[in-house]
Chains A and B, each alone.
Chain A
Amino acid sequence: MAELCSVCGHTVTVDELRICPSCGHYFPLSPEQRIALIADEGSFVEMEGSMQSVNPISLAGYEEKLKESQKKSALTDAVTIGSCTIEGEAAIVAVMAFSFMGGSMGSVVGEKITQAILEGALNHCAVILFTASGGARMQEGIFSLMQMAKTASAAALLEETRTPLFIVLTNPTTGGVTASFAMLGDVILAEPGAVIGFAGPRVIEGTIGEQLPQGFQRAEFQLERGFVDAIVERKHLKKTLSFLIKTHKGREVSHVG
């Protein structure tokens, strides 16, 4: 199927890696496509697939907005979690979907990310989180902000069990997701060209009163600044993740007793 590339403007046909053959732009992957790319065939078992948002601050229009997004995306919310194997190595994975309300983190995203992390901690199984988010879900008010603390405290718990947390930053990862679990990986990977930052580009431009330098907040910029371990091309992602799982088995600290 031919698609329009938002970067070079060409109409192109992409394979399962979904990379523009004309300019190399990485098209977004749905959670299903992402899982197909990294998980061993048929190994993925979804967790908490039916969890739904409520309207915690009773905001007018939020329920309709959710329903509309669910209909458009065939997802229940902005993250899919589950277990799988990657070249035979067991992992708990979470994949965010920017297409669902900008990948914003509300109570469901926060809870599912937290459950993925704790499931990994409980089973001493590597946790891999693929981020794609504009930040906190404002429609849930203070509850969305609190998801940052919740996911970060889950990461603290995971650390106590010496279970590895791997992050794959995809385009874009900003706001409350960057300022919580996305920056807490033992290893942090990024996809080429992904925008990664805290404040949005327009907010920064508004503050400093000038245009941002070329490449600001891109994965390559973050690699240079020391906030990303490696930029990994999609075709190498599965192999890279299985390498990381194998090399992070370390010493196990039991939580029992």
Chain B
Amino acid sequence: MLDESPRFKDAVDKMVEHTQLSSWESVQLSRRLGRPGAMTFINLICDSFMELHGDRFYGDDPAMVGGIGLVDGQAVTFIGNRKGANLRENVRYNYGMSNPEGYRKALRLARQAEKFGRPIVCFIDTPGAYPGLGSEERGIGEAIAQNLKAFSTLKTPILVFIIGEGGSGGALGIGVGDKLYMLEHAVYSVITPEGFASILLRDPSKAAEAAEAMKMTAHHLREFGVIHDIIEEGSAEETAACIKAIIVRDLAVLCSKPHTHLVRYRIRKIRGIGEVSGIAKTWWKPLLGVFGKTESLS
């Protein structure tokens, strides 16, 4: 068990004391060393948890944790980015940046969950997928793409919690689900503010300005309808209790729905995101019928 919570809470209290946080302060808090991570929440939420390793192709990616936990007696598959609680662990877990095998392990465990009727809970906390030689050689793009496709039609409920940094495709690779929540100081964006600043503002030192312009905080994303709700942060224990209450509440509803309804709802929701001028939004909907059909065939 990691005991980072009291110090972290002090830091949050200090920053929140006077005024509402700026986007850049949220970015800094979301990355702060010692912020409760996926393992902290898994341990606090589960009665017991068993980690499962490996993608069955190449190796095991420690930056992606996966396994089965019992939440008030209900079996749930957990998948999460793992950063570690101190510098030594950060290095061991590659600062939460996964290689392809991390995404392929996540997919294997998600399919296993589907097969055995377990719902899935994902914890997002990564600056992004690992941009390295081996990662490219083993097809990081392909691995993420397969997850987006597979998770969008997985016949089991999926809850996603962004608990720290939600960085780009590396976050989205375990981020397609039925309901998406963010901790209040978590962020979610298509690129880091530093990247945005150096590419679009042509000045890497303008990251704070970029963070504001990118609208990447939980409050912005709720306004955009990208996330369902914001979870207030307290101590690790308090936050974990809130997350657990949401898991129990949502799964009670989602697990009672026919899988075909879940998938249709999920696809409709994903389909609806985006802002363009004048499109017909309904002509394609008869296609959703394929999900009813496929299930009765199998």
Is the CB–CB distance between B276 and A142 below 8 Å?
no
A52 on interface, CB distance cutoff 8 Å:
yes
Interface string of B214-229 (1 = CB under 8 A from A): 1110000100101000
Surface stretch bound by A, among B60-68, B116-124, B129-137: B129-137
| Size category, A interface | 35 or more
Is the CB–CB distance between B189 and A118 below 8 Å?
no
B interface residues, tally (CB under 8 Å)? 62
Residues on B with beta carbons closer than 8 Å to the beta carbon of A159: 149
Residues on A with beta carbons closer than 8 Å to the beta carbon of B252: none
Known: A150-B274, A198-B129. A183 touches B145 (CB 8 A): yes
Known: A51-B278, A108-B276, A145-B189. A153 touches B172 (CB 8 A): no
Q: Using CB atoms, name the residue of chain B closest to A59.
A: B213
Is the CB–CB distance between B169 and A51 below 8 Å?
no
Residues on A with beta carbons closer than 8 Å to the beta carbon of B149: 152-153, 155-156, 159, 184
A255 on interface, CB distance cutoff 8 Å:
yes
B140 on interface, CB distance cutoff 8 Å:
yes
Known: A160-B294, A178-B145. A111 touches B276 (CB 8 A): yes
Surface stretch bound by A, among B38-46, B105-113, B281-289: B281-289
A30-87 residues with Cβ-Cβ distance < 8 A to B are: 48, 50-54, 56-57, 59-60
Is the CB–CB distance between A48 and B279 below 8 Å?
yes
Indicate which residue in B129, B273, B293 contacts A150 across the interface (CB closer than 8 Å). B273
A161 on interface, CB distance cutoff 8 Å:
yes
Is the CB–CB distance between A152 and B287 below 8 Å?
no
- Minimum CB–CB distance from B147 to chain A (whole Å) comes to 8
- Minimum CB–CB distance from B197 to chain A (whole Å) comes to 11
Is the CB–CB distance between B144 and A198 below 8 Å?
yes
Indicate which residue in A107, A141, A207 contacts B215 across the interface (CB closer than 8 Å). A141
Instruction: Report the Cα distance A159→B214, complex, angstroms.
Output: 34
B150 on interface, CB distance cutoff 8 Å:
yes
Residues on A with beta carbons closer than 8 Å to the beta carbon of B276: 51-54, 107-108, 111
Q: Using CB atoms, name the residue of chain A closest to B148.
A: A152
- Minimum CB–CB distance from B238 to chain A (whole Å) comes to 27
Instruction: Report the Cα distance A47→B130, complex, angstroms.
Output: 37
B66-84 residues with Cβ-Cβ distance < 8 A to A are: none
Is the CB–CB distance between B145 and A181 below 8 Å?
yes
B203 on interface, CB distance cutoff 8 Å:
no
Is the CB–CB distance between B273 and A198 below 8 Å?
no
Interface string of A146-160 (1 = CB under 8 A from B): 111110111111011
Is the CB–CB distance between A183 and B131 below 8 Å?
no
Is the CB–CB distance between A256 and B136 below 8 Å?
no
Indicate which residue in B129, B190, B284, B289 contacts A136 across the interface (CB closer than 8 Å). B190
A92 on interface, CB distance cutoff 8 Å:
no
Indicate which residue in B140, B279, B287 contacts A157 across the interface (CB closer than 8 Å). B287
Is the CB–CB distance between B133 and A204 below 8 Å?
yes
Greatest chain A CB density within 10 A among B146, B191, B286 is at B191
B163-190 residues with Cβ-Cβ distance < 8 A to A are: 168-169, 172-173, 175-176, 188-190
B253 on interface, CB distance cutoff 8 Å:
no
Known: A121-B287, A180-B145, A198-B144. A138 touches B199 (CB 8 A): yes
B256 on interface, CB distance cutoff 8 Å:
no
A125 on interface, CB distance cutoff 8 Å:
no
B139 on interface, CB distance cutoff 8 Å:
yes
A143 on interface, CB distance cutoff 8 Å:
yes
Residues on A with beta carbons closer than 8 Å to the beta carbon of B287: 118, 121-122, 157, 161, 255
- Minimum CB–CB distance from A112 to chain B (whole Å) comes to 9
- Minimum CB–CB distance from A56 to chain B (whole Å) comes to 4
Residues on A with beta carbons closer than 8 Å to the beta carbon of B150: 156
Indicate which residue in B130, B139, B145 contacts A225 across the interface (CB closer than 8 Å). B139
Q: Using CB atoms, name the residue of chain A closest to B268.
A: A153
Indicate which residue in A60, A111, A183, A253 contacts B139 across the interface (CB closer than 8 Å). A183
List 6 A-B residue pairs with CB atoms under 8 Å apart, sorted by A's residue number.
A152-B148, A153-B149, A178-B141, A179-B173, A225-B138, A253-B293
